[in-house]
Amino acid sequence: MSLRNLCMSLLVVVCAPVWAAEVALVMSVQGKVVKQEGAALIPLEAYAKLNAGDRLTLEKSAQLRVAYFENGRHETWAGPSELEMTARGGEPGGLATPAVKSLPLAVARQLART
């Protein structure tokens, strides 16, 4: 393997998390909700952008509202349990079905630019 190919491969592996697609915006958080970043658990705050593949943990009586950029989906989740972010909505890991509303696509796309 050439040095150039090795450097490019290393660059892709190191920078991949930075290039992850932003898929949603946290509209509000009530209670304790954390995002897993490697081995660390980071408290989630309102107006944080979420990437595809982000894993969230909602503690008991926590509530999370999220708006998705691609389809205008607006979900309200209640804890306790886990949630994985995708471009089209959250994938629950033991959570009840979320309350879902739809935002106009123009509004969802404007949120993505914010």
Q: What predicted TM-score, i.e. pTM, was given to this entire model?
A: 0.75
Mean pLDDT of the region 36-54: 94
Element (H, E) at 23: strand 22-30
Q: Is the peptide bond before 98 cis (omega within 30 degrees of 0)?
A: no
Mean pLDDT of the region 13-38: 80
CB 83 within 8 A of CB 68: no
Q: What is the pLDDT of residues 61-112, one digit of tens each?
A: 999 999 999 999 999 999 898 999 999 899 888 767 788 888 888 887 787 8
Of residues 110 and 16, the one with the higher pLDDT is 110
Mean pLDDT of the region 29-53: 95
Give the per-residue pLDDT at 17.
47
Residue 18 has pLDDT above 80, yes or no: no
